[in-house]
Chains A and B, each alone.
Chain A
Amino acid sequence: MSQLASWRTGSTRVLPGFGLSMGISVLFISLVLLLPITGLFGQLAELSFAEYWAIITEGRVVASYMVTIGAAAVAAIINAIFGLLLAWVLVRYDFPGKRLLDALMDLPFALPTAVAGITLATLYASSGWMGGLLEPLGFQVAYTWVGIALAMAFTSIPFVVRTVQPVLEDMPVEVDEAAMSLGATDGVAFRRVILPHIWPALVTGTGLAFVRSLGEFGAIIFIAGNMPYETEITALMIFVKLQEYDYAGASAIASVVLFVSLALLLAINIWQGRFVRRLHGGKG
């Protein structure tokens, strides 16, 4: 056993490859993930704070934050409910087509976002299958923020289903049998017994879905209509600035998006870490 390696705790000291795997991992993370982010800060350094502030608080940009956050919040709420329903049905019940339904849950992750984008836009346009049904009833989906929320919900639904599903599966049978034998109704038992148990997973999944929706681009731009101040998302604002060769403007807005998503990711990680530790007695 190497003395040099003795600070590595646990039973892992005999295994080789520490240096090699550390070298590859650190090199890769530095070159591929961290170095490009320095490019963003380099570009930002050319702006004064007043200029930076003026760009990120410009009316059209602020309107795009509102559209993006509002639609992402609606999409996250829809997904929390719909995702919980799907996870519940897939774990608790047996029915024909269950395996197919389970496989279908991953479709939004497997389907390229641009494909989802043109498909949803075609379906919900006034000439499409869904749009043709909904528009006579007064619901306009395509080219409104409802369409944006719909596209966001489509691309992020697997996050909720796939985070809640394993937690529901691991729940011991005795827990809800006990609740039912004590005479609770289904609704009360669900609220008092199931929901507290799956709550952390549900929040994590919904949070991940929300972060994904904030950054989504390909699935949204086709259905959004992209009207300034009304249906323009922040990712598109960055893209528009780039097409105008306004690199400083694009970077300033991108830095806001980057900061918000990284902060949310960190918060979700900390939240999840606490909850995993609680479940596994400190081993997380």
Chain B
Amino acid sequence: MRRIGDAPLIRRLLIGAALVLSALFLLLPLVAIFAQAFSQGVMVFWSNVSNTFTLHAIGLTLMIALLTIPVCLVFGVALAWLVTRFSFPGRRILQTLIDIPFAVSPVVAGLIYLLLYGRNGWIGTWLDGHDIQLMFSWPGILMVTIFVTCPFVARELIPLMQAQGSREEEAAVTLGATGWTTFRRVTLPNIRWALLYGVILTNARAVGEFGAVSVVSGAIRGKTNTLPLHLEQLYQDYNAVGAFACAALLAFIALLTLAAKAGLEWRAARREAFA
């Protein structure tokens, strides 16, 4: 039986249009990043990457991501457990609240942290009195990164845990398992791939956040410059090849993220086919 859009002409036209537009709009930028980064050869790329300031930016970026992930993981699992395993007044409000970071402009996210914890803010004034500086140093970068990345794990887990229901966990608890054992032996194996994907997304965003971080970091070279901020400085200094060397590193992480997603989806589809 023929379906809508099955005529060979329409089919070829639509596939052709989708491929050409995607190639121009999505693939070309990706190719351009690596072409620019290696435009003066591998040696220049390498010297750009192994430059002291770049190495420091890489280190800071990785440290921020490594600290962000566990925080988002604990919050994401707790929130997903709460809203999918219990029903209580305010459940929908909680689910809407975690979308705030997706709606708030990154610059506004940085600003609200700066206002509260900066030297003039009501917490900042108190911190200043105790010689603690959060803004324009790495803790500030960490705080805004947690703000912008916190929905990812929860958003991956909630639909999955909702669909799976709580029967298996109830059985385990009824049979006498403790809460922790139930979570570790029953829930965790069921959600591990979604959890992993949530972590990958969190990492991708934590590594690449720009707007929020640029407001609170102060962008001091060799001190509070993350990789995206460093590449902006290089670009503004007309060192395009250096900027694209950093961009290529970040694009490589993005490609790994896409590959991981494709792999996890392929795995899920195969399990469904065999089930």
Residues of chain A touching chain B, judged by Cβ–Cβ distance below 8 Å, are: 7-12, 14-18, 20-22, 24-25, 28-29, 32-40, 42-43, 82, 85-86, 88-90, 92-93, 95, 97, 99, 101-120, 122-123, 128-130, 153-154, 157, 173, 176-177, 179-181, 186, 189-190, 193-194, 208, 211-212, 214-218, 222, 235-236, 238-239, 242, 247, 250-251, 254, 257-258, 261-262, 264-266, 269, 273
Contact = CB atoms under 8 A, between A and B. Distances in A.
Interface stretch (B3-11, B42-50, B51-59): B3-11
A14 B96 contact: no
Contacts of A37: 112
A7 B236 CA distance: 60
A258 B104 contact: yes
A18 B104 contact: no
B228 to A, nearest CB: 4
Contact of A11 (B27, B104, B166): B166
B147 interface: yes
B126 interface: no
A35 B166 contact: no
A15 B170 CA distance: 6
Nearest to B89: A7
Contacts, number: 305
Interface of B: 1-5, 7, 10-11, 14-15, 17-19, 21-22, 24-30, 32-33, 36, 74-75, 78-79, 81-82, 85-88, 92, 94, 96-108, 111-117, 120-123, 143, 146-147, 150, 166, 169-170, 173-174, 178-179, 182-183, 201, 204, 207-211, 214-215, 228-229, 231-232, 235, 240, 243-244, 247, 250-251, 254-255, 257-259, 261-262
Contacts of A109: 201, 204
Contacts of B24: 130
Contact of A181 (B1, B82, B92): B1
Given A214-B105, A215-B105, A215-B107, 8 more contacts: A14-B173, A29-B97, A42-B115, A42-B121, A99-B262, A180-B1, A211-B103, A247-B114
A106 B258 contact: yes
A113 B211 contact: yes
Nearest to A36: B112
B153 to A, nearest CB: 12
Given A15-B170, A93-B11, A130-B28, A262 B211 contact: no
B105 A239 contact: no
Say whether chain A's binding surface is mostly helix, strand, loop, or mixed.
Answer: helix
A206 to B, nearest CB: 15
A228 to B, nearest CB: 17
A33 B97 contact: yes
Contacts of A216: 105
Given A16-B179, A262-B100, A254 B2 contact: no
A265 B107 contact: no
Contacts of A222: 235
A265 B102 contact: yes
B103 A110 contact: no
A261 B102 CA distance: 9
Say whether chain B's binding surface is mostly helix, strand, loop, or mixed.
Answer: helix
A238 B111 contact: yes
A242 B114 contact: yes
A40 B208 contact: no
B33 A115 contact: yes
Contacts of A107: 26, 30, 254, 258
A225 B146 CA distance: 30
B169 A15 contact: yes
27 contacts: A8-B88, A12-B170, A17-B179, A21-B81, A22-B88, A25-B94, A29-B98, A39-B123, A92-B3, A93-B11, A103-B261, A104-B22, A104-B26, A106-B261, A107-B26, A109-B201, A110-B204, A111-B30, A112-B209, A113-B106, A113-B208, A114-B247, A180-B3, A215-B104, A239-B214, A242-B111, A265-B99
Nearest to B14: A89
A114 B232 contact: yes
Contacts of A217: 105-107, 210-211
A208 B99 CA distance: 11
A37 B112 CA distance: 6
B29 A254 contact: no
B179 A101 contact: no
A28 B150 contact: yes
Contacts of B235: 118, 222
A177 B4 CA distance: 7
A102 B19 CA distance: 11
A239 B216 CA distance: 11
A29 B72 CA distance: 11
Residue among A111, A122, A189, A262 with most chain B CB within 10 A:
A111
B99 A22 contact: no
